[in-house]
Amino acid sequence: MNNTPIDRRIAREAANWFVRLQNSCACAAEHAAGAEWRALHADHERAWQLAEQFCARAQQLAGPAERAALERPRGLERRQVLKTLALLIAAAPLGIAAHRSLPWREWQADVRTSTGQQRTLNLPDGAQIRLNTGSAVDIAYDDSMRRVRLIAGEMLVEVPHRPVGLAFLVETGEAHIALFGSRLMVRQYPHNTYLAALDGAAGVRPRLARGEDAMMRLAAGRQTYVNNQAVEPPMPVAQNRLDWLGGVLRAEKMRLDDFIHELDRYRPGLVRCDPAVAGLLISGAFQLRDTDQILNALSQTLPVSVHYRTPYWVTVTARTNA
């Protein structure tokens, strides 16, 4: 097969046709139209075959619930499938190794939030979990266990001050955490975990660490990052870490590419930053309820332009003649 990268427009069209025709409700006319699209150009057929290849590999790894998520995605779930599949097709042949990026574990989680959504969970003994955008958790909570596993995203855990008989345990990809206090902030990054003890202490152990000395006590008002083997030296909690609870994205001389990466978490679709303007610095407090307004503010305060290919595909570039 030709290994030349697929044009992004064709990749998006191929992903759309493929997901559309996976639905058992697709009619004969839709299948015929899809076949006609494939026949229009050799790259159309090549993109379709790549879509089949990625999804076949993913389904080999998936369980029944995961296969159902791919075959019958709905709403924002469908949009995430389309986005991921289009990116894999456009990145071929590098995308062959990236099929694991399909968000199976998030789809199977006990509770999750979609892009831009926040949610509050009230647990049986009065404990509360507040989930930020794009988050997913598994909960094991009964008479013998109180454990929450953060699979993706960010959460604030608040437990009652009254004594309880069982420890409250939090797990992430890199850490085991015992909550001794009443408020804990946790965020799952791709390769590490952010942790802040807001009220009371927490015990932190890297997932691969062994021995009695592996557990570190994180005092109230301190934050740290944890990887599989070590805990970074604690520092005072950065106050902007709490801003998402009020629907605010705050920046203080933040690089524009970092700011766009954060904004992308709250906006359905793709928001990208051109490397030519990535190093520009931005400061301010931005209301996340209207991401279009935030993007417009960027073009008013920085020498950048905001280009909408679609409402779900936005790129921030250098302003011409700026």
Tens of pLDDT, residue by residue, the chain (322 residues): 455 778 888 888 988 888 888 766 778 888 888 888 988 888 898 888 888 776 665 544 444 444 454 444 444 455 666 777 777 777 665 544 444 455 556 666 788 888 889 999 998 888 899 999 989 999 988 777 789 999 999 999 998 865 556 788 999 999 999 988 789 999 999 889 999 999 989 999 998 887 667 789 999 999 999 999 899 999 999 988 999 999 999 999 999 999 999 999 999 878 889 999 999 999 999 999 999 999 999 999 999 999 998 787 889 999 986 4
Domain count, the chain: 3
- pLDDT for 67-94, tens place per residue? 454 444 444 455 666 777 777 777 665 5
Q: Are residues 289 and 272 in the same domain?
A: yes
Q: Which pairs count as long-range contacts for 205-213, CB under 8 Å and 24+ apart, including other chains?
A: 205/175, 205/176, 205/177, 206/174, 206/175, 206/230, 206/231, 207/173, 207/174, 207/175, 207/176
**Residue 1: inside a domain:** no
Domain end residue (candidates: 37, 66, 101):
101
Is residue 223 a contact partner of residue 183, using CB atoms and an 8 Å limit?
Answer: no
**Residue 275: inside a domain:** yes
Q: Report the C-alpha gap between 90 and 6 in whole angstroms.
A: 5
Domain end residue (candidates: 78, 101, 124):
101
Q: Are residues 203 and 150 in the same domain?
A: yes
**Residue 234: inside a domain:** yes
Q: Report the C-alpha gap between 310 and 284 in whole angstroms.
A: 27
CATH of residue 214's domain is 2.60.120.1440
Tokens of 210: 């062994």
